[in-house]
Structure 1
C-alpha cells in the first residue's frame, strides 16, 4: 500500500534521484520494483538498469526512465564502471546507487573513487563508503565463514576442499546429509558447481557430484541443519559510516523457493532483540557501512543463530520491513546519503510479505514436508504483495506475461534440482 507523504515524519531530497543497479539476466526481480515504488512514492525520481524495456521494473509508473543494458555479471569491471558513468551522465546529476546483486555491490565498493568522482560530468554517484574489499569477502561463503570464526559468530561447520582427494577424505569422515554451495558468489554466473544450495544424502552421492567439479572444486561443504530442528530468520538493516544501525529489522521466513534453500516466498516481521543485538555487534566488529540482508538459521539443538548468508546490499524482500515512521532500508540510505535525518520507529510486528509467483508452489511443497515455523504469527496484522499494488498495476501484469512459460519451467527445474540434491544421486 502506498504511503501518504503528508503523514510521514521526514522529507526526502527530491532533487537527488535513485538508480537501480543490476548486472545479469534476471528480469523478474521484485526487489528492484519494490525500491522503485518505495522512493518513487515519495516523489524521488527513479531510474533503473533493465534487461530490456519490457521488464516489470521498466513498467512501473514510479520509474522516470529505464536504461536497457543487457549484462551477464561476468563482464570486465572497467567496462561495467564505464557503463555506469555513461548512465550517470545521461541522468545529469548526483544519484544514489541501489545495487540489487552481489556483482553490483562489489563493483561499487571496489571502484568508489571513479564512481564517486564529483568531476565525472554529473557530480558523481552517492553510496555508502565501505572498506573496498569487505563486500567481496562477505559475499564469499569462505570469506564469511572465516569472519564468523574470527569474531565468534556461530555458523555451520564447513569444509573448503581444494581437490577431489580432499572431497574423498571429507566423505569418509563427515556425517551426512551435508549441504554443498558455490564457494564464491560470482561463480554462479560463470562456472557454478551446484545450482544453488544442494542437500547431499550420502558419501556416494557426494563423490558422484564431485566428479563434475574439476581439479579445483569451487564449493563449500557444510553441516546440514535438520529442518525439524531449525527455523529460518532474516535481518535487514542500514548502517551509517560508524557502523551504527539507522534502521534494523528482524523477521522469520515461513517459506522459500526452492523449499528451504532459495528465495523468500513468504515471511513475517517478528521482534527478536537477541538477533538484533547479535547483528549490531557483528557489523560493528567488521566495520561495515550500508544495507545488509542476512539469512540465519536458529538451531534448536544448541539454541544458537547460525549465519548462513550475508548479502552486502538490498535484499529482494526488503519491503517486508518498514518502521512505524515509514522507514525501510532503501529510504534510510537515501535520507542519510542526502544529509537528512533518519527518524526512529518500531518495526511493524506481524506484517507479512508474499511473493505471489513463487509462494504457491512453495506452499504446496511445504505442506507435503510438514515443516512449520513456530514463531510465525497465527495471522498477519497486514500484508504486502511483492508484485501487485493498487497504485502500480503494470509490473504485476508484466511479471505474469513473462513468467507463465519460462517462469514455470524455471520453477520446475529448480524443484528437480532440489530433489536430485536431496536424493544424493
Structure 2
C-alpha cells in the first residue's frame, strides 16, 4: 500500500524557545516532506539543521525565548499563516507551542487545522504537579510528587519523599523563564538540595526516585482523535538516554506492551485528550507498576521510532485525520531501532563506566531509523556535526579556563 497524504495542505513546524539542534523537528520535516507535503518551519536562523533540509519549502526565522506574552506568540503564528496563504497543520515540538495552539485555537483556526483538544488541557498535562493530580484522579500510577512553595516546604518535602529524589521544572513556560534545573536532575541528599537553592525557590517539582536497577524506562507515542480515542498508539523500550537515565532518548526499540497501551488509552479517554502526545513511563519492579513520569502534549523527539505496518506514524496520522482522510490501520512495526547519532556516544561511555562492559546491542543491532543521517537529505547531518563539534569545543574551553582561574 502506498500512503498518500493531502499535498494541498502544508505542515508548519511550530516551536517556542531556542533549540536549533533538535532531531525531532527534523523527523517531522522528513516524515511528511517525503510524501510530497509542503513543509514550513519556524527556525532560529537560516543555518539550523532543519532549515537546510531539502524537504523544507520555507523557513521562517522567528527566534523566541518563551518569555514572550502568549498573545504575541499567537500573533506571530497568525502572521505566518497569512504568509503561507492557506490553512495548514501545525506540529508542535515543545510544550509551550502546544499550549499556545490549544489556548488560542479559536483565533488560530482561521489559518490552521487543529485537533479538538480542550483548551486548558495541554498546559495542565505539561505542568508536572497538575499532571500528577490528573493521573491520580484517573487512576493512573505516577511517582510520588510534591511542589513546595518555599525552602521550608522544600526541606519537608525532601524528608517526606526520601533521598535520592528527582527535581523537575514545574511548568511549560517556567522552565524557560525561571528554570529551577537544566533538565531532570537527581539530588542525593539534603545538603545537595539546600546548596542548589540557597535563597529563593523557583517553581520546581520534587519527585520520588525509582532506583535504576529496580526500573525500566518505557515510552508511548500516540495520536488521539475527538474524545481521547487513540487512532494510533505505540509502545517502546528506552535503552539509553543522555544525560544517563534521565534525558533525551538516544537509543530505543519498538516493543508491543499491551498493559502499557491500555493504561495510555484509558488515561487519554478519561481526560478527553486529542492530538499527538509523547508519554514517558517508568516500570517500578518494587510494586510491578508502570508509573507515568511525563505527559508531553506534543510530538516527541524520537517519534520516528514508531510506525504501524502501513507506514503511519503519529505525525502522518494527525495530518490524515485533520484533512479528512482515513488512517490505515494495522499493528505497530515491531523491533524498529531508533538512534540519536552523536548523543548515543556519551550515553555508551556512561554505560561502560557504570556497567563495566559494552552495551549488548552496540555491535549486533543495526538501527532502523537514524535521527540525523540520511542519504536523501544529507545537509542537516553536516550542519549538526559542525554545531555539535563547536559546542563540545566551547565546553572544553570553559572547563580548561575554570581549572586555571585561581
TM range (shorter): over 0.9
Structure 1 unpaired stretches of 5+? 1-6, 118-123, 414-425
Aligned equivalents of 1:276, 1:390: Cα separation in 2: 34
Q: What residue in structure 2 maps to residue 52 of structure 1?
A: 45
1:173: Cα distance to partner? 4.2
Deviations 1:6-43 (A, max 9, x none): x42x3211100000011111111111111111001101
Aligned match of 1:169 in 153, 156, 164?
Answer: 156
Q: What residue in structure 1 maps to residue 323 of structure 2?
A: 338
Q: What residue in structure 1 maps to residue 185 of structure 2?
A: 198
1:202: Cα distance to partner? 1.2
Shift in alpha-carbon separation, 1:286–1:376, aligned structure 2, 3 A: farther
Deviations 1:154-181 (A, max 9, x none): 1111121111111232344442111111
Aligned match of 2:74 in 81, 88, 93?
Answer: 81
Q: Taking structure 1 as the reference length, what is the TM-score of the superposition?
A: 0.89
Alignment length, in residue pairs? 399
Q: What residue in structure 2 maps to residue 143 of structure 1?
A: 130
Could you say what secondary structure the match of 2:232 adopts?
strand
Aligned equivalents of 2:294, 2:159: Cα separation in 1: 27
Aligned equivalents of 2:197, 2:125: Cα separation in 1: 25
Aligned equivalents of 2:303, 2:167: Cα separation in 1: 26
Matches within 5 A, 1:112-191: 112-117=105-110, 124-191=111-178
Structure 2 unpaired stretches of 5+? 399-406
Shift in alpha-carbon separation, 1:87–1:171, aligned structure 2, 3 A: closer
Q: Does structure 2 retain, via aligned residues, the 8 Å contact 1:244–1:280?
A: yes
Could you say what secondary structure the match of 2:228 adopts?
coil
Q: What residue in structure 1 maps to residue 271 of structure 2?
A: 286
Q: What residue in structure 2 maps to residue 36 of structure 1?
A: 29
Q: Taking structure 2 as the reference length, what is the TM-score of the superposition?
A: 0.94
Shift in alpha-carbon separation, 1:349–1:371, aligned structure 2, 3 A: farther
Aligned equivalents of 1:171, 1:330: Cα separation in 2: 40
Q: What residue in structure 2 maps to residue 309 of structure 1?
A: 294
1:186: Cα distance to partner? 1.6
Q: What residue in structure 1 maps to residue 197 of structure 2?
A: 210
Q: What residue in structure 1 maps to residue 404 of structure 2?
A: none
Aligned equivalents of 2:338, 2:277: Cα separation in 1: 18
Aligned equivalents of 1:362, 1:299: Cα separation in 2: 22
Shift in alpha-carbon separation, 1:244–1:172, aligned structure 2, 3 A: closer
Q: Does structure 2 retain, via aligned residues, the 8 Å contact 1:268–1:377?
A: no
Deviations 1:363-384 (A, max 9, x none): 1101222299x99899547521
Q: Does structure 2 retain, via aligned residues, the 8 Å contact 1:252–1:376?
A: no
Deviations 1:263-296 (A, max 9, x none): 1111100110110011000100011000010000
Q: Does structure 1 retain, via aligned residues, the 8 Å contact 2:178–2:202?
A: no
Deviations 1:168-206 (A, max 9, x none): 323444421111111112212111111211111112222
Shift in alpha-carbon separation, 1:225–1:96, aligned structure 2, 3 A: same
Q: What residue in structure 1 maps to residue 353 of structure 2?
A: 368
Aligned equivalents of 2:274, 2:361: Cα separation in 1: 30
Matches within 5 A, 1:225-240: 225-240=210-225
1:106 is the counterpart of 2:93: no
